[in-house]
Amino acid sequence: EVQLVESGGGLVQAGGSLRLSCAASGFTFDDYAIGWFRQAPGKEREGVSCISSSDGSTYYADSVKGRFTISSDNAKNTVYLQINSLKPEDTAVYYCAATPYSDYAFTLDMIHFGSWGQGTQVTVSS
C-alpha cells in the first residue's frame, strides 16, 4: 500500500522558515517523482515543486523560486521542502504526492499524481 505522510507544518511568523517532510512507503521510491502541492483557503490546489527520486532533478513553480528548496533522502524514502522567507500568502495545507510518470511530473499537473498524503498545515502570521 502506497503511503505518504507529511509533517513539519506549524505556525510561524512572516520571514521565518519551515522544513516540511514527506515520508514515503509501499513503493519503489527511486522509481517515482514526488511533488509538493498546497491549497490555501478558498483557492484551488497548486503545485509548487517536484523532484525526481531517480536522478534528483527538480522543478519549481515561478511563485516559489528562490524561497523553496526541494530535496530527497533516498535512504530514508523521504522528500523535504525547505521554505524560507515565509509570507502570509504561503498559508495553506501542504500536500506531497507521488507519481511513477517522471516525464509528466514536472508539469505539476495533479492528474499525473495518483497517491497523496493527508497534508500538513502551514500558517504564516504577519
24: nearest Cα among 95, 83, 76, 59: 76
End-to-end alpha-carbon separation of the chain, Å?
Answer: 40
State the pLDDT at residue 107: 87
Residues 83 and 122 sit within 8 Å (Cβ to Cβ): yes
Q: Is the pLDDT of residue 104 over 90?
A: no
Mean pLDDT (the chain) is 95
3-7 sheet: strands from edge to edge: 3-7, 18-25, 78-83, 68-73
For the ranges 37-41, 103-107, 119-123, which has the lowest average pLDDT? 103-107
Position 105 scores a pLDDT of: 86
Give the mean model confidence (pLDDT) for residues 5-28: 97
